[in-house]
Amino acid sequence: MEQYREEQLRGIARECQEFEHVINAMGYGYSLLNVSPENYVRRCNDCIHWAGGSCKIFLDEISQWR
């Protein structure tokens, strides 16, 4: 799998409307993350749509990154 830089994983997730954290999706709620949803760091690889790097939104965004 291609490795992405932290700034890319964060930068795209920060702008993304579809982000949902994997832990939240499991039903535990954002309290388990010990931070409010507004404050914790969003990263694409913590998102339910990440799917091992095959998220279409991510791939579209990363193709415009460079």
Contact 49, 20 (CB under 8 A): yes
- DSSP-assigned beta bridge partners for residue 47: 21
Tell me which stretch binds ligand SF4 (CB under 6 A): 24-32, 33-41, 52-60.
52-60
Q: Does 49 bind ligand SF4 (CB under 6 A)?
A: yes
CB of 41 to ligand SF4, least distance (A): 12
Q: Which amino acid is at 11?
A: G
Q: Does 19 bind ligand SF4 (CB under 6 A)?
A: yes
Give the relative orientation of helices 6-15 and 56-63 as an angle to the nearest 10 degrees: 110
- For ligand SF4, the binding residues (CB under 6 A) are 12-13, 16, 18-19, 44, 47, 49-50, 55, 57-58
